[in-house]
Homo-oligomer: A and B are copies of this chain.
Amino acid sequence: MSDADQRSYHHGDLRQALLDRAAEVIQSRGIEALTLRGLARDLKVSHGAPNRHFSCKADLLTAIATEGYSQLMRATLSAANDVGNDPWVRLNAMGQGFVHWALNNTAQFNTTMHPDLSLYESAELKQATEAFRLTIKEAVAATQELGNHSEEDLETLNLFTISVPMGAAMLLTQKDGLATHVKRDKLVADLIELVVPIRERTS
């Protein structure tokens, strides 16, 4: 469908094209500067066409965030599956996978973190968010049964475990932040090691 972008009266896959272009605009000019009419111009469709897929800007942002959570969950699960069955090693990989996904998809990540989203109360987004959090929570619980802060309340341990990759991704994706660090992979690995230590286990 990617080469049917220009030809016919109908676009082919305008919805996805809008989501993709929106990510580019957010990256370069920010969420505030994102406009439905601007996207329509960029994709050479009429100014009303985007409304067939997103009734308003809030709808568009919600959809980007929903897609973002979906991608983020896939990325973290994929990272876990790459490292075997040890719950500790898996949770560590998920944390690293989180940060790497955020750094590789800053526009989507920033949109998922947009504070307005909770006001829109989208059922779709809520479901994607909860699915992701549940995935993390199960992984945290699995390590706790193996002795990861076994005395701690799971709720607290879970909050702690998610906060590190999330907070770090926030800081690292900000342009002037610590993003210019030389060895990103090492920094992320060292960081997550402080939350879910595995080096003694894998050595």
Residues of A within 8 A of B (CB): 29-33, 57-58, 61, 110-111, 113-119, 121, 126, 149, 152-153, 155-157, 159-160, 162-168, 170-178, 181, 187, 190-191, 194-195
Describe A's contact surface by its main secondary structure: helix
* Closest B residue by C-beta to A126: B176
What are 5 residue pairs bridging A and B, where the CB atoms are less than 8 Å apart in the complex?
A30-B116, A32-B57, A113-B113, A156-B190, A157-B194
Given contacts A126-B176, A167-B170, A171-B166, contact A152 B190 (CB under 8 A): yes
Taking a contact as CB atoms closer than 8 A, the residue among B118, B149, B163, B173 that contacts A164 in the complex is B163
Known: A58-B32, A115-B173, A175-B118. A163 touches B166 (CB 8 A): yes
A129 to chain B, nearest CB (A): 8
Complex interface: chain B residues within 8 A of A178 (CB): 155, 159
Q: Do A162 and B156 touch across chains, with their CB atoms under 8 A apart?
A: no
| A135 CB, nearest partner CB in chain B, Å | 15
A119 touches B29 (CB 8 A): yes
B159, B171, B190: the one within 8 Å of A162 (CB): B171
Copies in the complex: 2
A106 to chain B: closest residue by CB: B115
How distant is the Cα of A152 from the Cα of B195 in the complex, in angstroms?
13
Q: How far is the CA of A141 from the CA of B156 in the complex (A)?
A: 26
Which residues does chain B contribute within 8 Å of A152, judged by CB atoms? 190, 194
Closest chain B residue, CB of each to CB of A120: B30
Contacts of A174 in B (CB 8 A): 115, 117-118
Residue contact A163 to B171, C-beta cutoff 8 Å:
yes
Are A160 and B191 in contact (CB-based, < 8 A)? yes
Chain B residues, Cβ within 8 Å of A31? 115-116
**Contact in complex: A187, B29 (CB < 8 Å):** no
The answer to whether B115 touches A187, judged by C-beta atoms less than 8 angstroms apart, is no
